[in-house]
Amino acid sequence: MMVKILITDAHSISNVGSAAVLENTILLLKRFIPEAKFIISANNPETISKFTGEDTITELFIRPAILGTHWKRLKWFLPNFLWLVFNSINLLLTKIGFPYCFPLYTYSRRRKEVIKAYLDSDVVISIGAERINDNFRPQLPFALYGYWFGKMLKKPVVLYAQTIGPFRHKLSRWLTKKILNKVDIITVRDKRSRILLDEMGITNPKIELVADPAILQQTVSPTEAEKLLLAEGVDRSQRPLIGISVLKWTYVNARENKDPQTYYREYVSSIAKLADYLVEKIGAGVVFVSTNFARYNNRDDDVMVAKEVQRQMRHSDKAWVLEKLYSPKELKGIIGQMGMFIASRMHSCIFSTGMAVPTLALNYQFKLYEYMKLLGMEEMTCDFDRVSFDRVRPLADSLWADRNQIRKQLEQRIQALSKASLRSAELVGELLKLRSPC
């Protein structure tokens, strides 16, 4: 019998990490639930549909990549909040026998499609990965509402391979505890999230520590990866190649109360100096790879940051910025051609370590440090608000000197994490079997 699975929070293919999570989640669920039929709720459904070949709809709340002025933000917020209020009242009234009559106050055709997908589903699975925190407070209540909505419709709800926290505000913690205690399964991809759930008193769902599904990402062949680099104009005679991923961060939770632009300038300058240093010391070529692109309703633009770093390099002729939006399979193959990798993005780090490339992680959120800790590589990290050339240079030196030993270590640890990546899908399969009428 067909099982209808609604996957939510799939975002957009312009976030290559999110695309990798989605791709591998679907593959794993198909392994454990062969009769699965998917519908995917995404911020940019058109590109996700082409990428997966599955039926795709918008998210319950579509938030534009750039909201701009306060007036535009208010213009977005008010109708969405009013719908949320009316819908919540209607759902609560169903508890005393009233019908769920959402068409009376839901005028958006796309939102009606999303509601129908919830109603038709056998299970709702969120793959949002890192929405459950108050680093960006406006998104938290809307993310939590999706879980509450599923439970009010009497659907099993699963949070799949998530990072939970941090929470800086008591209201955020209280609201999160209330909602997460209603869901059926929470799998987390790092130990800190697991500890936080215990501290918050979230005890009703089944909770397990797993691994990010993107660890299982397949890759193109080395020959195909070489061709992709050549097409970008990368000089393959320039060896070794050092891969670098960069980003522009808000420096939320930074230790010092400095202006974010000051932090950002220091970060860009430090990466440029490190790239020049590696060119001079080991004769490296530098390849900037990006996992976030400012298109398809995604606001982050890693390419812009990479170009800014390249402009500050003295040896900019030895550096290449890859501007094409690659599939997860292609990007992992490209990163696998690197002799060393410096990762500011979570899934660039997962791709590099998955290819056993010695990796230095620059932690913009604790999820990256926690991932490196699972690999036994936490010493090869530096927190984002501590990045300076003097701090990262000795780490890069050590990483390069011990690269052969580190490769072997990564091969062993990734094998263990690959097994842990299966567990989330296995739990969903077990949940559906328990709910099966037979």
Which residues are registered as beta bridge partners of 157? 124
What letter does residue 386 receive in the DSSP assignment?
G
Neighbours of 24 (CB within 10 A): 22
Amino acid at 149: F
| CA-closest candidate to residue 113, choices 37, 22, 42, 184 | 42
Cβ contact 10:22 at 8 Å: yes
Beta-carbon count within 10 A of 169 CB? 11
User: Whole-angstrom Cα distance, residue 198 to residue 177?
Assistant: 10
Confidence of residue 254 (pLDDT cuts 50, 70, 90): low
Query: What is the rounded (10 degree) CA torsion for 193, 198, 200, 206?
Result: 90
Which residues pair with residue 208 across a beta bridge? 187
The arithmetic mean of pLDDT across residues 128-151, rounded, is 89
- Residue 238, pLDDT > 90, answer no
> To which residue do tokens 């997962």 refer?
350
Convert the pLDDT of each residue in 258-306 to its tens digit: 788 888 999 999 999 999 999 999 999 999 999 999 888 788 899 999 9
Domains in the chain, ordered, with CATH? Answer: 3-209 (3.40.50.11930), 219-417 (3.40.50.2000)
What percentage of the chain exceeds 90 in pLDDT? 84
Averaged pLDDT, 308-320:
98
The pTM (predicted TM-score) of the whole model is: 0.95
Segment 172-231, tens digit of pLDDT: 999 999 999 999 999 999 999 999 999 999 999 999 999 999 999 999 999 999 999 999
| CA–CA gap between residue 12 and residue 294 (Å, rounded) | 11
Predicted local distance difference test score (pLDDT) of residue 437: 63
- pLDDT over threshold 80, residue 166: yes
What integer is the mean pLDDT of 234-254? 85
